[in-house]
Amino acid sequence: MLNQLVETKLAAMSSKPQTTRNRITGVVHLPGGQIILLDTPGIHPARSALNQMMVKTSVSTFRDVDVIVFMVDAQQGFRETDSFVFDSMEKVTAPILLALNKIDRASKHDLLSVIAEMDAKKRFAEIIPISALHADGLDILSKVILNYLPEGPPYFPEGMITDSPEEFLIAEIIREKLMNLTRMEIPYASAVKVESVIRRPHASLRIDAVVYVEKLSQKKIVIGENASMLKKIGKNAREEIEKRFGDKVYLNLFVKVKSHWSENLPDLKELGYTHDIH
Ligand SMILES: Nc1nc2c(ncn2[C@@H]2O[C@H](COP(=O)(O)OP(=O)(O)OP(=O)(O)O)[C@@H](O)[C@H]2O)c(=O)[nH]1
Ligand SMILES: [Mg+2]
């Protein structure tokens, strides 16, 4: 939804839960105003220090916003995982809009029954069916969001869609490719850090990045036989970075073991996972 509204892939996407780990800002410039979207990690029962940090990031964002968009899959309906998020908003005073997503996959019956179920909760200021994938209903959603925003001067200059540094955006592209190409615990044991981005003559970029995993066995999987997996991740990432930044990209990817990085606060901080946003 964020990516469609800002017309740029800012947030990594995958079919695996807990893809988003940081709060990502996306600015939507509309004739009637500016929407500053704060995309947050999913709120879930968190065990590791990383996951606890993610949930803290999300919950602390409740205090910073004028309106919340709560999203439920229209086909799957309101599940236990949604109920966990819903309960976390108990004390929230900001108006909550309900976006029923993936209507491209939901039948009329699915949609009507989820609307009835959610309406009965008497918690949502509006219910808006959308398909983020097909950008269906997003014009309505953005109009509704604008209605809930206070008047004021624009926070971001025209044309600026995020405040995330280039290194972060590139690391997220690499992490998305890795998450989509690997299975089991690998996506969750991996973090990506961009060490340097050097602009060279003839519009080319040289990027050095490291994939951190927690064990040697995971490093072997991420590299793959004859480095086939690492090459695939690198190729997919490079193509998207080139599309996004419009330059020829030389991407040097390394894989390193950092034991227990997802449990270790200094490691989390070094990898860009902190919840001290302010
Ligand atoms: N069919 C369909 N798929 C969608 C739609 N919107 C998102 N998806 C898919 O749903 C999956 C999850 O999307 P994400 O953007 O990673 O979801 P998220 O809510 O940000 O999840 P986390 O970051 O993991 O908390 C991806 O495979 C998307 O392609 C939609 O409108 N229709
Ligand atoms: Mg996400």
Name the residue with the closest Cα to ligand 1, atom 9: 15
Q: Is the pLDDT of residue 111 over 90?
A: yes
Q: How far is the CA of 17 from the centre of ligand 1 (A)?
A: 9
CATH of the structural domain 166-270, one choice from 3.30.300.20, 2.60.40.1180, 3.10.350.10, 3.40.50.620:
3.30.300.20
Q: Is the pLDDT of residue 276 over 80?
A: no
Tens-digit pLDDT profile for residues 78-96: 999 999 999 999 999 999 9
Q: Report whether residue 121 contacts ligand 1, using a CB cutoff of 6 Å.
A: no
Tens-digit pLDDT profile for residues 23-71: 999 999 999 999 999 999 999 999 999 999 999 999 999 999 999 999 9
> Exposed (0-12), middle (13-18) or buried (19+): which is 175, by Cβ within 10 Å?
buried
Mean pLDDT of 4-31: 97
Task: Name the residue ranges covered by the structural domains of the chain.
Answer: 2-147, 166-270
Measured CA to CA, the distance from residue 37 to residue 69 in angstroms comes to: 10
What are the residues whose beta carbon lies below 5 Å from ligand 2 (ion)? 19-20
> Exposed (0-12), middle (13-18) or buried (19+): which is 176, by Cβ within 10 Å?
buried
Range with the poorest average pLDDT among 84-88, 165-169, 274-278: 274-278
* Per-residue confidence band for 278, with pLDDT thresholds at 50, 70 and 90: very low
Q: Report whether residue 18 contacts ligand 1, using a CB cutoff of 6 Å.
A: yes
Query: What's the topology of domain 2-147?
Result: Rossmann fold (3.40.50)
Tens-digit pLDDT profile for residues 130-145: 999 999 999 999 999 9
What does the pLDDT read at residue 20?
A: 98
